[in-house]
Structure 1
């Protein structure tokens, strides 16, 4: 047993500082009284208890708030002989729950933050220190922002809407499968050595409307 309970008050006091580290399974992650606690089952103790969740920068209304999901395996520290003094210090991967980096060869170059209510589905932030040297943000619906040494790219799920800042060619391109609209309460100014406006279809109509139109 990772923890021993004593009936003698003196013996209990002597072992008050005893600490055990055990594994547990999350049963309930909804703390209605908002104390940052998680209900976990400790198989080695054959009991369930509410454990305090540790977090980087935890303070009043601040800190990294990342709650483990039900059925997640967690590492629990029991302080002393009191089950109420329990702390979750982290989550554990296992044979059923794998890390978000699937390729073992990329484990040393990639850092990933992955959320989600179910395995494999969720938002993701990836830092790749490998040859690509990229940072990417991907939503659960596969909307994506990619930053690498050559470009900054924003695109939708289907790739039909895209904004690209190209470092190599020093160009900014905006592409839309349907329409592109620019709107402003004030003025819209276009300045360049040459401005080309053309139709993809040569027979398409071009119209310019305004109270005063000046072409010079």
Structure 2
């Protein structure tokens, strides 16, 4: 049964059947929009534990033609709902809510409010630290073994992985340019070219090893 019909069936509530003003708390029941419009359905525990709303559009910070910020709430999560001109047939989700059972991904225990976090269901994290002198941007996967860290204080970028790191430019070039470049491996190092290779130094070039083979 739809929310509109449920209200209409309640005797003595016909006057507000299609008009609810202000905001209400709902719980997501369905986020698989058959039309692919990013809508969800919700139920209202204060009204019914089973009946759900019509498809509700989600207000986001940015939306447009196949662009925007895309975050869908999970089923059973709390959301804040309003109705267009108070009409319950046209619900909108204007925000998502934390609660005692579903707390936020971080806290503000020191009261300085330095941390901003985006954390996914599986545990992937984008973390912005605005603490003066310790500003960083972190992108960390759920294992915390793969990360990219932009450190403003030290003016560095660190890419870390317990596995492989691949740089690929199938139709382009990869260029490394710096004051100094150091390449070091704890096992073998291999440099291979499918065409020519040039090694050039404007000063001394040293080749050192127990055995050096030139073919």
The two structures share one fold, judged by TM-score above 0.5: yes
d(CA) in 2 for partners of 1:190 and 1:155?
30
Question: Where does residue 166 of structure 1 map in the other structure?
Answer: none
Question: Where does residue 31 of structure 1 map in the other structure?
Answer: 33
User: Does the aligned pair in 2 maintain the 1:20–1:79 contact within 8 Å?
Assistant: no
Q: Is residue 108 from structure 1 mapped to residue 107 from structure 2 by the alignment?
A: no
What root-mean-square deviation, in Å, do the aligned CA atoms of Structure 1 and Structure 2 show?
3.5
Q: Which has the higher strand share?
A: 1
Report the number of matched residues: 188
**Which residue, out of 141, 145, 148, partners 2:148?**
145
d(CA) in 2 for partners of 1:104 and 1:172?
42
Question: Where does residue 48 of structure 1 map in the other structure?
Answer: 52
d(CA) in 2 for partners of 1:190 and 1:103?
54
Question: Where does residue 125 of structure 1 map in the other structure?
Answer: 126
Once superposed, which parts of structure 1, at least 4 consecutive aligned residues long, lie more than 6 Å away? none
Displacement of 1:19? 2.2
Give the TM-score of the pair, scaled to structure 1: 0.69
Give the TM-score of the pair, scaled to structure 2: 0.69
d(CA) in 2 for partners of 1:36 and 1:103?
31
The answer for unaligned runs of 5 or more in structure 1 is: 162-169, 210-216
d(CA) in 2 for partners of 1:188 and 1:45?
76
State the structure with bigger RCO (CA 8 A, min sep 6), 1 or 2: 2
The answer for unaligned runs of 5 or more in structure 2 is: 166-178
Comparing 121-130 and 96-105, the one that deviates more: 96-105
Where do 1:78-89 residues align within 5 Å?
A: 78-89=83-94
